[in-house]
Each structure stands twice: as structure tokens, then as C-alpha cells.
Copies of this chain bind each other. A is one copy, B any other.
Amino acid sequence: MTPLPDILLRPIVETALREDLGRAGDLTTDFIVPSDAVLRAAMNARQQGIVAGMDLARLAFTLFDPSVSFSALKQDGEAVHPGDCLVRVEGPARSLLSSERTALNLLSHLSGIASETNKLVNAVSDFKAHICDTRKTTPGLRLAEKYAVRAGGGLNHRFGLDDAVLIKDNHIAVAGGILPALERVHKNAGHLVKIEIEVDTLAQLDQILALQETLPVDAVLLDNMPAPLLEQAVGKVGGLFLVEASGGITLQNVKSIAATGVDLISVGWITHSAPTLDIGLDIG
């Protein structure tokens, strides 16, 4: 998969390093470790999962000290098992010890997201449904977290409020209905802006289908609908536009959701609540 350019990642890593180093740097290491001590270390998986964030880990070590050599043995998107070596680093002992936590925090956070995403992706592999993310991301890390979703095999939903239209229930309520909402959107949206609309009932879906000639949408978001209703909805739509299911998705129920024939299943918790993937640094 395509890495994000360093120029987008650097501010994240600089902030992370500076918040850890504070105003005096690494007291313990500076007091104890001789300046000429050299170290080799490996970042090893202690848990099964999918790697993401190798570039962030590399930047954590090399922005702290450009003389550190960083060799990636795995790539973002690759599966790892307990004991697998992801990275070998070598350089001044002080530099490795002072930047390892930042590297690990970044790598294990993104790998956690990739791993959870991938479990869902695998669970629905018999179906056409894609797993995708939401805007429920950790503040400041959206671009990295959405990258991790891609590493896990998922697709990205909107990156922000500005790159597609997603008409939600509140918008419909304020607008006074689906018709005026769609009219206003079509009057204003640029030609590269896709339009998706949230649907809570099949009656609403019928309304949207009836407008498809004049006020077409690219996708509907079926929020919190049980599988049987989803299946009915998919049937009604008949491939005219994409159908996204959302809300209450778990590793247990995702397969049954996918079996309804929906095109997309969006899941908030893969970014906002994924536990980190356990990765450790071992000397030697």
C-alpha cells in the first residue's frame, strides 16, 4: 500500500517527541548511559495482527537522531505473529532509549486499528461488502488512523466535513424533509462531490428512490437497521446506488450484516476504540 508522504507525518511525530521529552529531555538515559554506547534493538510483535505506522516509527527514531539506522522487516498491511520482528534499529544507545516509547506508541496505536479493521474485513470476505471507517477518530490523528484502516484492508469514508455530502437526520429535520435537503445540495455541490443520505425507514428510502431521476444520490446510509430490513432495502435499491450499513456492528454480527447484500459497513470503533497491538522493543 502507498505510504503517506513524510511531510504530512512529521508534525505528528515532532509533537509526540516533544511532549515526551518535555523541557529537559530523557533524564534517566542522560544520567546513566554513556554518550558513546551503541545499541541494537528489535521491535517485535507480541500479539497477532496487522502492521501499520512503520513510517511514523521510523520518523520517531530518525527525527530524534538522524544517525539511527532503521530497517523495516515488515510492511504496513502485512500480518505479524507473536515473536515476529517488525523493525531493527541500531545507533547511539541514548537515542534509541529516548525515542523508543514514541515509536512504540505510534506503531502500536496504528497497528491496533489495522488489526481490528482486518478482523472485520476477513469476517466478510465471502461477501462484496467493504468495511469502512467514520469521522469518529482520535483528534489530531485522523489522517494516520484512516491510513491504518486502509492498511487493515478497509476503505475510507469521508476524511472530513468538506470532502463529500452526508445528509443526516438532523439536516433533514432542519431542512424540512428529504426533498428540500436534496434540492439544496444539488444546487450547491461541485461536480466531484458525492452525495450520501441517511435513511431511518424504508418509507424514506422509497422517497429517495422516487427522486433518483432528478436528485440522484450516490449512496444511502442505513443507520441501526436490523438485518432483515437491510435486506429489504438492498432489494429495493437494486444496485441503483450504494448501500451502507452502520451502527452496532460487532465482530459477531458483521457477517450477517454483510450477507444482506449491503455494499459498505461502516464502523466507528475501529478508530475510536481499537486496543493497541502489543509490540515491544527488545535489546540485542
Contact = CB atoms under 8 A, between A and B. Distances in A.
Interface of A: 2, 4-5, 7-8, 12-35, 37, 39, 63-65, 93-94, 97-98, 101-102, 104-106, 108-109, 112, 130, 132, 135-143, 146-147, 155-168, 170-171, 173-175, 180-181, 184-185, 187-194, 196, 218-219, 242, 244, 263-264, 269, 272-276, 283
A95 B23 CA distance: 23
A7 B191 contact: no
Contacts of A18: 7-8
Number of copies of this chain in the oligomer? 6
A167 B272 contact: no
Contact of A190 (B101, B109, B156, B184): B156
Contact of A193 (B21, B27, B140): B27
A171 to B, nearest CB: 5
Contact of A192 (B163, B180, B185): B163
A192 B22 CA distance: 16
A2 to B, nearest CB: 4
A192 B189 CA distance: 13
B171 A20 contact: no
Contact of A170 (B196, B272, B283): B283
A192 B170 contact: no
Residue in A106, A138, A189 whose Cβ sees the most chain B Cβ within 10 Å: A138
B219 A64 contact: no
Contact of A20 (B135, B175, B263): B135
5 contacts: A4-B25, A8-B23, A24-B156, A109-B272, A273-B275
